[in-house]
Amino acid sequence: MPTVTVIDLRVSSFDAAAGVVTGISALRIAPEAEALAVPFDWQLPVAQSSAMDEMHHRQQIAAFQPVWPDLCAYLAGGPVVAHGAAWTRTVLRKATLAVGVEWVPPMFLCTRRMARAFYPDRQSYDLDRLVAELDLTPQPPISGVSRCLAVAELYRRCLRRMHGAGLTDIAELDAFLARPGGFLDRGAGRS
């Protein structure tokens, strides 16, 4: 399996269409190794407000714009793993439109969908619950880079289960899980 970059976003709203990115953490990993690069960790430098007025929205966009090239460089070179990949991709696409840059999203892998496939007996696939139930590290509450570490561990565990099912690459796995809810997220009509 390829080296991947795990990403976690913090936004002003859970609504991908309305939220503004207020923080980004990312960590490049190999499937069975420790982190391969210094983590990418950015937090919005202006005070957050529960009421999103137009001036505040412009401040957030202005703060995010200079970070975008560094984030794109960090994400380049392989798939991106997120817990809720469709939502993450949508938020990033919206952010790129807001700052006026063009972005071709990389392939996204969704650990929420992977967990549904390989841990079908769970009551919830919320990351904090999976961390507690599967004894992933670090334990809740988690945020930022520690959340990326938890997603990376979940991804690795799902890969081991994938290999245990006799699957050796992402294309085989996608074919194996080719049903509604398959976890490979290419952004072409699948969420």
- For the chain, what are the domain ranges? 4-185
Whole-number Å distance between alpha carbons of 74 and 134: 29
Segment 79-88 shows an average pLDDT of: 92
| pLDDT averaged over every residue in the chain | 79
Enter the pTM of the model: 0.82
Segment 17-43 shows an average pLDDT of: 78
Q: Which of 16-20, 47-51, 72-76, 141-145 is least confident? A: 47-51
Give the Cβ contact number of residue 52 at 10 Å: 15
Helix (H) or strand (E) holding 21: strand 21-29
Q: In whole angstroms, what separates CA 36 from the centre of its chain?
A: 17
Report pLDDT for 32. Answer: 65
- Residue 106 gets which letter from DSSP? -
Annotation: CATH topology of 4-185? Nucleotidyltransferase; domain 5 (3.30.420)
Closest by CA to 90, choosing from 189, 12, 16, 26, is 16
pLDDT digits (tens, 9 = 90+) for 103-114: 888 889 899 988
pLDDT digits (tens, 9 = 90+) for 159-183: 888 888 888 877 777 666 665 544 4
